[in-house]
């Protein structure tokens, strides 16, 4: 693992994503906190009450909170061991969330970064979480970036993992995963082994299949296994997950600290997007970990080391 600090000066010309030339409008939205506002001019979306798991080292973690947000098709279960470790090493409580349409949280339309951000903002307000560190992987990374840009006061700092603040196509694997999961439901398997056999043509790697199949549940004794997540809704939302709701870093920035962690074998945070990251997040730091897109599960020790080092450093 190598750690490189980046502080990229703004480029002369404003950066505009080629897909969009419109600007984002800010207006008042959800309450209570004053910083909870929508980045659409329309009324706020319906917020859902997110399920979570608290890791607080048996009540000994009393510092500022850490909030962890999983990636697409994930859940709070993915961050259990890492959450326990961070709570113990940093003496800070870690809240591992299930986003809408994932884990034990409610299912709701739409599944966009606007909706995800508003849900997490409402969670922070409901639980009185101030000065939080927001950590997000993949879909969760774009969620915490969007939150930081639209409402800088909602957090102390952010740690996006293997994603960037740009419109970029998802890996072709994700549509295959969604298709395979739909085939699993059609097959009505009675066992995990049967479900794995159906899914294998769509997800060749066993660890990936095991990750996806953690979403299976049996509604009642003797019934076929079904996914607890709404596969249809998420399949239709893949385009939204490729987008990023902010286009122009000349209009909005997050000037607090940000740690970007990327997998060196992943394509989601290429060197070409680093100047864009630097313009949205001028105090960002970069850590490379020898891993693919699933950085946290592939290299948990290196990930924990990077997070602990970042959060133990004193502010300038």
Q: Which residue numbers are catalytic?
A: 138, 293
List strand residue ranges (DSSP E) for the chain, in order: 2-5, 27-28, 37-38, 52-55, 66-69, 94-97, 133-137, 157-161, 216-217, 226-227, 258-263, 284-289
Only one residue has tokens 């709404």, namely 230
| Among candidate residues 50, 161, 160, the one with its CA nearest the CA of residue 96 | 50
Check if the beta carbon of residue 122 is closer than 8 Å to that of residue 47: yes
Q: Which residues are 103's β-sheet partners?
A: none
Alpha helices, DSSP H, located in 151-262: 173-187, 192-199, 206-213, 231-236, 238-242
With 0-12 / 13-18 / 19 or more C-beta atoms within 10 angstroms meaning exposed / middle / buried, residue 70 is buried
Residue 234, CA distances (Å) to 55, 100, 125, 181 in order: 28, 10, 26, 11
Q: Which helix (H) or strand (E) holds 309?
A: helix 300-312
Residue with tokens 């056999």: 197
Q: Are 8 and 274 in contact (CB under 8 A)?
A: yes
**Under 8 Å CB-to-CB from 61, ≥6 apart: which residues?**
55, 87, 88, 90, 91, 92, 93, 94
Residues 6 or more apart in contact with residue 142 via CB below 8 angstroms: 113, 136, 160, 163, 165, 241, 244
For residue 78, give the DSSP letter: G
d(CA 148, CA 252): 10
């Amino acid at each position: 693992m190598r750690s490189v600090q980046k502080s990229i000066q703004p480029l002369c010309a404003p950066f505009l994503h080629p897909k969009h030339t419109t600007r984002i409008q800010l207006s008042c939205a959800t309450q209570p906190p004053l910083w909870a506002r929508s980045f659409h001019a329309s009324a706020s979306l319906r917020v859902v009450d997110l399920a979570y798991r608290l890791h607080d080292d048996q009540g000994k973690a009393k510092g500022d909170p850490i909030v962890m947000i999983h990636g697409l098709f994930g859940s709070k279960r993915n961050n259990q061991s890492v959450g326990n470790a961070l709570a113990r090493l940093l003496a800070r409580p870690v809240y591992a969330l299930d986003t809408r349409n994932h884990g034990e949280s409610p299912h709701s339309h739409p599944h966009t970064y606007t909706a995800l951000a508003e849900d997490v903002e409402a969670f922070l307000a409901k639980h009185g979480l101030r000065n939080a560190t927001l950590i997000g992987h993949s879909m969760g990374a774009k969620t915490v970036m969007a939150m930081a840009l639209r409402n800088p006061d909602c957090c102390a700092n952010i740690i996006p993992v293997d994603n960037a603040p740009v419109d970029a196509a998802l890996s072709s694997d994700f549509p295959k995963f969604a298709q395979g999961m739909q085939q699993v439901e059609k097959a009505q398997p009675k066992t995990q082994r049967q479900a794995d056999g159906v899914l294998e043509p769509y997800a060749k790697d066993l660890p990936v299949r095991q990750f996806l199949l953690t979403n299976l549940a049996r509604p009642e004794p003797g019934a076929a296994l079904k996914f607890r997540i709404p596969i249809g809704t998420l399949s239709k939302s893949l385009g939204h997950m490729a987008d990023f709701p902010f286009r122009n870093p000349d209009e909005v920035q997050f000037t607090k600290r940000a740690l970007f962690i990327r997998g060196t074998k992943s394509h989601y945070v290429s060197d070409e997007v680093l100047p864009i990251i630097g313009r949205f997040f001028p105090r960002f730091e970069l850590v490379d970990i020898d891993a693919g897109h699933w950085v946290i599960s592939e290299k948990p020790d290196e990930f924990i080391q990077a997070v602990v080092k970042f959060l133990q450093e004193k502010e300038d």
